[in-house]
Amino acid sequence: MKVSLRVSGRVQGVGFRYMTKIKADELGILGMVRNEDNGDVYIEALGSENLIQQFIAIVKKSPAPFGRVDHVTIQPHENLEDYPDFSVRY
């Protein structure tokens, strides 16, 4: 399953991307996470449906202790690139 997530809230400057990577690595999720200019965080994630659902639940609760997620937009994307791992992009 391949999805993209756009996360808004207090998600920049609180370690959100790095904690997202740690959780993705723990679950075996492939993809990437990056900050957007408007203050959101953008994520592309690839994995089994069960693991993606677990990952989405973690993201919705904010993997960063000082982060706060106000809204998550989730879209299926079957044409995302195949990632070899999960990376933090700048």
Instruction: Flag whether 66 is in a domain.
Output: yes
* Active-site option among 17, 34, 79, 89: 17
* Active-site option among 6, 34, 35, 50: 35
Span 21-72, pLDDT tens digits:
999 999 999 999 999 999 999 999 999 999 999 999 999 999 999 999 999 9
H helices of 1-90, in order, are 16-27, 49-61
- Give me the CATH number covering residue 38: 3.30.70.100
CA distance 29 to 13: 23
pLDDT of 90 over the 90 cut: no
Instruction: Flag whether 83 is in a domain.
Output: no
68 catalytic residue (yes or no): no
Instruction: Flag whether 22 is in a domain.
Output: yes
Instruction: Flag whether 38 is in a domain.
Output: yes
Instruction: Flag whether 89 is in a domain.
Output: no
pTM reported for the whole predicted model: 0.96
89 catalytic residue (yes or no): no
Q: Residue 72: what pLDDT?
A: 98
How many structural domains does the chain have?
1
Domain that holds residue 13: 2-78
User: What is the biggest distance separating any 2 CA atoms in the chain, rounded to whole angstroms?
Assistant: 33
